[in-house]
Amino acid sequence: MRYSVPHELVAESVWVRFHGDEPIVTAMAAGSAVEVARHLRSTPGSPRIADEHYLDVPRGERTPQATNPAEVQFLAIGPRAAAWLVGAAAVGTRRIRAKMVDAVALAKFHGAADVDRALGTAATVGRFAESDLLSILHHQDEHDRTEPIRPSETHSLQPGTSFRSGFTTP
C-alpha cells in the first residue's frame, strides 16, 4: 500500500501507524515526532495520493517522464503511450514494465502508429491485462479496412423456405 507525504519529506524517514482505518504518517521535526499526513486505508494497487503533497503541478496534468532507455522507447511510440501509462498506473496495473516492453516489440512489427492507436484505445476503455493490446491490434487490423467486406449474392444467413415444401395448405 502506498500513501503520499508532503514533498518536503522526499528522502526522509517517516513512520506509519494505523489508528482504526486511518494510516497516520509521522516524521521528525525540530527534534520531536509530528503527524505529517493522514489518509483513509488503501488496498494493494490503489495508492492514496493527496494533491496538496505535491508542488505546483495539479494531479491531472502530470505527464510521464522517461528515466531509462526502455521507457524512452515506449514513450516514443506516440502520445497515446503516455496516456496508457498514466491510466495503467492509476488503476494499479501489474507488470507495467513488461507490458511496455511488449508494446515496443509490437511497434516494431505492426508500426508505431497502429500500436499508439491501440494504446489509446486501451487507455480509454481501461484494458490493461496481459493480452489486451495485442487483441486490440488484431481487432483494428481486421475491422479497419479501407474497403468493407461484402458477402456475395450466394451467401446468406437466411434459412430459406425449402423445409416447407412437404406441407400442404388446407
pLDDT tens-digit profile of 98-137?
Answer: 999 999 999 998 889 999 999 999 998 888 988 899 999 9
pTM of the model: 0.53
Mean of pLDDT values over 45-64: 70
Place of cell 487490423: 141
Task: In whole angstroms, give the CA distance from residue 9 to residue 39.
Answer: 16
Supply the pLDDT for residue 98. Answer: 92
Residues 6+ apart with CB under 8 A from 161: none
Structure confidence by residue, pLDDT tens digits, 5-18: 888 887 888 898 88
Helix (H) / strand (E) containing 106: helix 96-110
Share of the chain above pLDDT 70, in %: 82
Q: Burial letters for 134-162: b for 16+ Cβ neighbours within 10 Å, e otherwise? A: eebbeeeeeeeeeeeeeeeeeeeeeeeee
